[in-house]
Structure 1
């Protein structure tokens, strides 16, 4: 059974992301925790008086209403739903929740404006630091059976095949085609993966139908964009908890660009070896 943190801010984007996750895990036993954080705002720094734009009680009612809406989605008998109101800073509240309980996946909605509907500009930090797989769903993503998943990887930075377990289970259960996409900088031949590195990953995915695709491009983001422009991709997958491939896509000023230009759902896989 999977345990899912579904971050809900009651926007159309967050609800769409949760429904996408429902479809992704259709016929899979899953426990959805609908989570919203109430952050107090100080009105008097000297006195320390706080007021809340929304109360835990009002949020609890809204979460219950969302729960009823989600339970009306078709063919979801294998899913159960819970609501959770957290208080304090959103990042820390979610981090504390993950430290207290094991969750397999965090679901996040992305608005049309390219901003995370729940975390805003902190979306990339959530991807980097959350001790769980993270699914980011753009608001305009189609909800349909997945046919093509692409794992963008340099092969070199997958520390343990345990990080591939969720992806392996997902593709095997649904018989989805998986493409291993490697973007190679032709000016840096020393960074090209060895045959043993490729074989290591392919053996870990031996129950999955896989294709291999290599793009030679000195600009990793450009190479990835070119691939997304040319081929159908229903879900893009990355392993961000390292300092090489993912950093080439998100380093410095590229961080916001990566999130804001996201055009397909993105699944980032948690690598426990990086803790």
Structure 2
């Protein structure tokens, strides 16, 4: 049974991400945790009212659960309600450490105005720190069956069995095609990169896939260019931390894509992640 964490601020955009998750996993047995984090400025100032905050949060979570059961009557799915004073990243870290989640699915924006920026920031931060797969759903993006998965890579890391199996199994279950894309900045692939590309080709041998080199000045621009010809249903990237410079560069890409995503964005953890150990 998959264990999926669904953070919510009770906005319609958060519900849109939940709706996507329920559609996506409609045929699989899943344990969904509906999570509302209460850590904010009001809690810091009025901490004496924490019981009231928590009770109100749990009431809203119960209303959310009833709405879900009314709209998605699926025996494959069960729901747990959690209200916590942890910050979102703390809750994710703790649950990953305790092997309580396999995937986080959340929206990229909040309700409107300042809330939209705040929740967007939370999502990008969660992507940056999460040590488990995280799927971000853009505001107002409606679920559609996967046809085209874009996997962007520089071919500069040693791909882990877990990462490749995650992508391959996802594509196979949804009968989707994997488009492997390299943003080419005018530099030819070295021997290690060519070997990584060959390894990917072998691993995806029985899954529809192709390789693409897009000449643009940045990864987000290359993704946008690719999307013009091949409508992307899901973007996948691997978060790796080989060096401080790469960490900074990857963070800037995450920020740009996370705040401006037009399609679901799945970030897989580094090669050190092992959900079974």
Give the TM-score of the pair, scaled to structure 1: 0.85
Shift in alpha-carbon separation, 1:206–1:38, aligned structure 2, 3 A:
same
Deviations 1:59-107 (A, max 9, x none): 1111111112222334633222111112233322332222223311101
Distance 1:107 1:62 in 2: 19
2:157 corresponds in structure 1 to 157
Q: CA RMSD in A?
A: 2.9
2:204 corresponds in structure 1 to 205
Residue correspondence of structure 1 range 90-169 to structure 2 within 5 A: 90-111=88-109, 119-169=119-169
Shift in alpha-carbon separation, 1:5–1:130, aligned structure 2, 3 A:
same
2:75 corresponds in structure 1 to 77
Alignment gaps of 5+ in structure 2: none
Distance 1:142 1:266 in 2: 14
Distance 1:191 1:54 in 2: 60
- 1:169: Cα distance to partner? 1.7
1:230 corresponds in structure 2 to 229
Shift in alpha-carbon separation, 1:192–1:15, aligned structure 2, 3 A:
farther
- 1:249: Cα distance to partner? 5.8
Determine if the alignment matches structure 1 residue 43 to structure 2 residue 42.
no
- 1:217: Cα distance to partner? 2.5
Residue correspondence of structure 1 range 236-255 to structure 2 within 5 A: 236-242=235-241, 248=249, 250-251=251-252
Shift in alpha-carbon separation, 1:111–1:124, aligned structure 2, 3 A:
closer
2:55 corresponds in structure 1 to 57
* Local SS of the residue matching 2:9: coil
**Contact 1:111/1:138 (<8 A) preserved:** yes
Shift in alpha-carbon separation, 1:185–1:131, aligned structure 2, 3 A:
same
**Contact 2:120/2:259 (<8 A) preserved:** no
Deviations 1:208-248 (A, max 9, x none): 21121111223322222211233211111111233588864
Distance 1:131 1:249 in 2: 15
Name the structure with the higher helix share: 2
Distance 1:233 1:153 in 2: 16
Alignment gaps of 5+ in structure 1: none
Determine if the alignment matches structure 1 residue 263 to structure 2 residue 265.
no
Shift in alpha-carbon separation, 1:224–1:195, aligned structure 2, 3 A:
same
